[in-house]
Each structure stands twice: as structure tokens, then as C-alpha cells.
Structure 1
Amino acid sequence: MTKDKKRKTAVREAQNATGSRYTRLAREMAAPRAGQAFRLADLLAECATLPHASVEWDFPEHYAPAVFDSALIGTAVPYGTVLELAGSLAQVGPGATITVESVSPLSQAVVVCRKRRFQLVLTQDMVNELCRQPECANTADSWAFTHCRDHLAECGTRALVSMARDWGRGRREEHDEDPAAVGGGTEADLLIKAAIAAVCFEPVRDALLDACFGDPDLFDDVYWDASQALAVQHALERERLRLYEVAQAEVRRIHKATGACVSCGKPLFAWNPGIPPTHCPSCAVPRTAEHRSPALA
């Protein structure tokens, strides 16, 4: 029996067992295993050349997107979803290698390209960029973040500082007409909380303040109006204090959750930014070279 006949026989057996339609089962059973890789150019070639596929949807068909049967993804994929993915990878180019992480036919597929993870929505023309932690289904809280809030602390100092700078510069551009209003933001709080767990509060805080406000020694040159320069200076100091209070609140939360040093059981009291908040000074793990890096450009 040929490979194709074996596949058809397996589909028929599944059809008899489940009562589902043959075409739908064939598509689902043809889904590739995780790890299949292909070029973005090849997926675009499929999108540009393959005809419209007929699909049995679980919702009214007039709400359904136009799809084609992708041999690379292993299921029906909306044309618009592929184009959205191509737009997200425009800077990488058509030669980018894409790897399939998982496929749920007629629902979603998750693909990976250069550590970036994308959820291909197969029921509409949509792509969502996911947290870069493998198998995580969450999205990041900001365009500047590579990970969701649950996995931010696992990024380490260098990555958190980079995200803080990107987010801070974007925040500064948003408030270009009122630079004194740059402070605040849920995303900044998330970075600070992650920095507490990653033992890098000071470099992340400094990166946020520098990206949001710039060098305070240059305020008099940047802002010709002395009152505006003073307002931005005050805003900078308010934000510095606010971020410190966010950090303290996070440390108190961790202390309350752990109750005592996780190594020796001694009570946890004062906070030292240079040691993990779950440890007392005697049991703290020495800071890594990455944590000691002051600038982390």
C-alpha cells in the first residue's frame, strides 16, 4: 500500500469513528509535527499561488476569511494572516526561516522566527506576537517588551534595560508637547517589578528615567523656557521617587508571600537592591557579571 493510500485509509477510519467530514479530518491529520521549518518566501509563494480552499467552519461562513490549504503550516490559513505575518517580519526579509511550534487546525498556529513567536489566527486575518517564552500563550503588555509580565523577570538585566530604554523613548515621543507628563505608566511598573526579581532595580530604573526625560544637566539647554526646564526637573524627581515606591511595594509583597529567607528561614526585613528579595544578606547569591554592568548599552 502506498503512503498516500495509507493516509487515506487512516482518514476513513477516523471518519467512521468520529462521524466528521473526510475533508476536515484529512486537513487535521495532515498537520505537520512541531519543528518543521520553511522560508517566509515559500509561505508567501503559497499565499500568492494557491486557490481558495473550501472549509467547514463552526460559525456562519459569511464571517469566515478567505483561506488556502498550506502544506507548510499544515492547515487552512487565511491569506490576510500570511500578509500580516510578512508585515511583522518585513525587517527580516523573505529569506527568514520560520519554524512551526504548534498547529491547531482551523483555530491557530504558533510559529517562531529569530526567537519571536507569532500566533497565526486561522479564523480571521490576524497575527498576534506572543511572549518569547516557549509554549507561553500570553502577549506582552507593550510593543517594547519581548516577554509577558509573567516571564519578564527571566530576561535578565541586559534585556530589561533594553526594554526600559525602548519603552521610555516611545513614552517620551508620545508626550513630546508636554515633557513634564512623561512619568507614570503601568508598563514602567511592570519593568520595575521584574527588575526586583531579577536583582537589577537600579540599572532598569536609571534606563527608564534617562529614556523618558534625558540628561538633567542639559535641561537648561534643551528647554529655553526656565519654567519648563524646572517643571521637567520636578517631573523627573517625582518619577524617581514613584519608581522607588513601586519597588518597595513589590519587595513587601514578596516578603509577605515568602515569609522568610528561602535558604535559612530567617525573617526578611530591609531591602537591599543588590540581593534577591527572597534571601537575607547572609544567604544572597553573589551578583553576576551581567548584574554588575552599569550601562548595558
Structure 2
Amino acid sequence: MTKDKKRKAAIRETQRVTGGRYTRLAREIAATASRVFPLADLLAECATLPHASAEWDFPEHYAPAVFDSSLIGTAVPYGTVLELAGILAQQGPGALITLESAEPGSQAVVVCGSRRFQLVLTQDMVNELCRKPECRNSSDCRAFTHCREHLVECGPQALVSMARAWGYGRREECDQDPAAVGGSGEADLLVKAAVVGVCFEPVMNTLLDACFGDPDLFDDMYWDASQALAVQHALERERLRLHQVARAEVARIHKETEDCTSCGMRLFSWNPDVPPTLCPPCAPPPAAARRIAAFAHGRHGVASGEVCHTSA
């Protein structure tokens, strides 16, 4: 692929991810062309460049083997690049990488599509970061696309998608004791974000379904009637607990906000279809409220399984 074709491919990929105008992105990428490169180029460096010497602030026998990367602009462990390639295997060697920042001897942050990664430069390691630009925090679990601070900026459909992915994973973790699925702080984070995103009920219902399954099928799923009853009770306890988490979050928001941000009326109650900072008379219709919540954080909606894209 010629340099011109690579440049155009980089612009189109950035346009697809950000929705920006082609001409503006072309100017921006032209200004930072050296920072955008395909994964194949980084792998080529990894495969061909010799070992480099580096100074470490810890015993050298603990240090990884590194090479001097012109793309990253510093010494990078071979294992770190190979781990990144494994993570991006589905995207293939043509996946476009943008270097967001680099701190020699410490870390580099790269972006591929909407995903952000921390390349650890002191050991063979890659950490996936929150997808909020410039954020250095990792998400609380692999099912989350954002850290707890920026989870509230995700749209309703993105939160539902994360709830489904996390719930299935939680169910597998508790396969030997399905009644122990509930009570997770990670579920609480999703519920708190859903309160702000005016999508508490869809997120809660998705969590319960993914974690426990269909209660109408419990008798078929569990041969032991006592176990089926225990799981049914656990489901109802978790439903009640998630409601309590949501109400506690609303109470916290009301304590900070006190009055409706539209009319100034004192906030004293909560409706799941009403933004917690508005009183019911000032709230838009439920469907519109969810669309507004999604739009306020970057998009009108996100397809199932897709992540949200927050603004910088």
C-alpha cells in the first residue's frame, strides 16, 4: 500500500470512529501523520530490529528484552507488542494504530478504533484503558468499556450491552453456586450509571436475566427443587438490592443538586423514566429522555454490542 493510500485509509478509519468531517480530519492527520501507522509496521519492527540496551531502575535480570521503535519513539518490549497483536488479532495486521502519548521508560498509550491500550514499557504487558480520550484509568472489569468515573457518560444501549456481557461472565464465575451471583459492586456501578442515563429498568432487567436466566425455566435448569427455590430467592433479593442501590444513588444526586435544574423546584422523589436532576413536570417523555441521555454523551444510540463514544 502506498503512503497516500495509507493516509487515506487512516482518515477514513478515523472518520468512521469519530464521525468527523473528512477534510478536517485530513488536516489533523497530516499534522500528526507519523503518529498513525498500521499494526503490521509495528510488528515488522518487532520482528526485525535487534535488542536494544536500556537503563532500568530495578535489577536488570527482571527487565524485558526491548527494541528501539521509531513508531513509538522509545524502547518497547517485544512481548508487549506481541500481546497487543494478540488482542487485535481479529482486526488483522492492517489495524490502524494512533500513538496518543509516550513516556520513555514507563508507558505509551495507543488507540485502535474506539479502544485504547496502555503499552507497559517496563515489562511484557498491555492494559486496556477506559475509552474516554486521555483517561489513564482501566475499566473495573473486561466487560466495561469505561472506568467508573466515565461509565456514566455511556449511552443507554451501551450500558445494556455491558450489563449483558458482565452478567454472562458473572454467571460463569458462579456456575457451582448459582445462588451466589448477586451482590457484586460491579453491578452497582452499572446501575448507578443507568440512573443517570435514564435506563435503570432495562439495565437491571438485563443484569438479572444474564446472571440468573429465565425464572420460568428454573425447574428445568435445576433438578433439585431446593436449588431452584434458592436461585429464585437469590434473583428476587438481587432485584430488591439493585433497586436500593439505585435509590441510594438518586438520594446522593438529590443531596448534591437539591433543586430541579430546569425550574428550581425541590427534588424529593424518583421516577426511573425521569433524569434524577429534573422534576417530573420538567422531564421529557420517557423515550425522549433516553434519547437525550444518549445524545448528551455523544450519540443518539448505540447498536447492541457496540460501545459508546464519549467526547473528549
**TM-score calculated relative to the size of structure 2:** 0.80
Change (3 A) 1:34 1:60: farther
Counterpart CA distance in 2 for 1:231 and 1:60 is: 53
- The residue number in structure 2 matching 1:131 is 130
1: CA distance, partners of 2:196 / 2:230: 32
Distance 1:59 1:229, change over 3 A: closer
Contact 1:117 1:132 in 2 (8 A): yes
Question: Which deviates more, 116-125 or 197-206?
Answer: 116-125
Structure 2 CA distance, aligned partners of 1:40 and 1:80? 14
AA partner of residue 149 (structure 1)? R
Please provide the CA RMSD for this pair.
2.1
| Partner residue in 2 for 1:142 | 141
Match of 2:93 in 1: 94
Residue 164 of structure 1 and its aligned partner are, at CA, apart by 0.3
Q: Matches of residues 149-228 of structure 1 in structure 2 within 5 Å? A: 149-228=148-227
- CA distance in 2 between counterparts of 1:63 and 1:49 reads 23
The one-letter amino acid of 2:185's match is: T
- Please give the residue correspondences for 1:95-134 in structure 2 after superposition, counting only pairs within 5 Å: 95-134=94-133
- Whole-angstrom CA distance in 2 between matches of 1:145 and 1:122: 24
State the SS of the aligned residue for 1:282.
helix
Q: Does the residue aligned with 1:261 lie in a helix, a strand or coil?
A: coil
Segment drifting more, 32-41 vs 177-186: 32-41
Aligned residue number for residue 231 of structure 2: 232
CA contact (8 A) 1:158 1:290 kept: no
Q: CA deviation at 1:47?
A: 0.6
What is aligned with 1:47? 46
Letter in 1 for 2:130: C
Equivalents in 2 of 1:34, 1:282: separation in Å?
51
Q: How much identity, in percent, do the aligned residues show?
A: 76
Range with bigger deviation, 240-249 or 173-182: 173-182
The SS at the match of 1:100 is: strand
What displacement does 1:289 show?
5.5
Q: Which runs of 5+ in 2 are unaligned?
A: 1-30, 292-300, 306-312
Question: Residues of 1 paired with 2:258 and 2:289: CA distance?
Answer: 28
Query: Could you tell me which amino acid in structure 1 is paired with residue 263 of structure 2?
Result: C
CA gap of 1:225–1:195, structure 2 versus 1, over 3 A, is: same
SS at match of 2:159: helix
Q: Aligned-pair distance for 1:238?
A: 0.5
How much does 1:282 deviate?
Answer: 2.0
1:192-219 deviations in Å (ceiling 9; x for gaps) = 0000011100000000000001111111
Higher relative contact order (CA 8 A, sep 6+): 2
Q: What corresponds to 1:8 in structure 2?
A: none
Q: Is the CA contact 1:205–1:243 (under 8 Å) kept in the aligned structure 2?
A: yes
Q: Distance in 2 between matches of 1:129 and 1:277?
A: 31
User: What is the number of residues matched between the two proteins?
Assistant: 265
